[in-house]
Amino acid sequence: MQLPTAVHITEVGPRDGLQNEARFMPTAEKIRLVETLAESGLTEIEVTSFTHPKWIPNLADAAEVVEATKHLAVDMLALIPNRRGLDRAVAAGIKGITLVFSASDSHNRRNLNRSTEESLVECLDLHREATAMGLKRRMSISTVFGCPFEGDVPIAHVVGIVRRLVDAGCDRIGLCDTIGVANPVQIEAVCQHVKALFPTVTFELHLHNTRGCALANTLAGLQAGIDHFDAAIGGLGGCPYAPGATGNIATEEMVSMLGAMNIRTGIDMATLMRADGLLAGWRGQGLESAIWRVSQRTAAAACLT
């Protein structure tokens, strides 16, 4: 296998993980979670979203979370859905942003209440403004590998979108398996294709584990030359506008697998497990992460010996 020697992981649990939870995590506990994740060695964390609180009430405290964590020695990102979101994020002191829209029009209309073309044009405008302001920025394309309403998304359509982003100066682009329908062959084919066409771009994979393929898809991405991935602590996540989508790939599962393969992440597993403990304690129930379940069984066995 041709694999990278090191991988960059962007932690999205405080945003993508918490946005779909059944109840609101108190602001102080969110801040503690972000602080613990920062202690683990993660170098980039997507801490919140500046979506209108009416649509994502679990992240209504976005400004407070940014204000309380912006001093940490980690690159903090916030997801930005539109111009108003960028204005709020900048006012709160954010230094990095994720701009997002969907490759499929049906999902984009449900998620952002506009067409893909309208969102793409606005995102390019916001990307230019963020560049001028000196913000760290990345662009994420949802439903690249499948849409809950339209099914397959043609790769030619995705390439057309990527080309417009690249022509506008976007050099960091996320390919998102929003509903977790991708398979390893598809992941490798799409990633190899876009990397060959746009060799100067840093492509990232954002994987959900709906069908249990997220780790396999990670390996396929690695084989295709991808070395930037999103992950969410505890395997939390899901999109409110993507029926059937479940959690993201768990950060601790990705770190564990990469470590066993001698691929460096710079992330400490013990600290990630402390973050898992914070999440499980707040939820009052276990997590989807297999690594978490193993740790709980191991701890229970130790208590019996």
> Contact at 8 Å (CB) between 140 and 176?
yes
Q: Using CB atoms within 10 A of its CB, is residue 129 exposed (0-12), middle (13-18) or buried (19+)?
A: middle
Helix (H, G, I), strand (E, B) or coil at 99: strand
Given 123, 170, 191, 239, the catalytic residue: 239
User: Could you tell me the CA-to-CA distances from 128 to 1, 86, 118, 139, 170 in Å, in that order?
Assistant: 38, 12, 16, 12, 9
Q: How many CB atoms lie within 10 A of CB 186?
A: 19
Active site residue 239: yes
> Contact at 8 Å (CB) between 270 and 53?
no
CA–CA distance, 275 with 299 (Å, rounded to integer) = 16
Q: Give the pairing type, strands 136-142 and 96-102.
A: parallel
Phi/psi-derived region of residue 249, left when phi > 0, alpha when psi is between -120 and 50, beta in every other case: beta
Residues with a catalytic annotation lie at 239
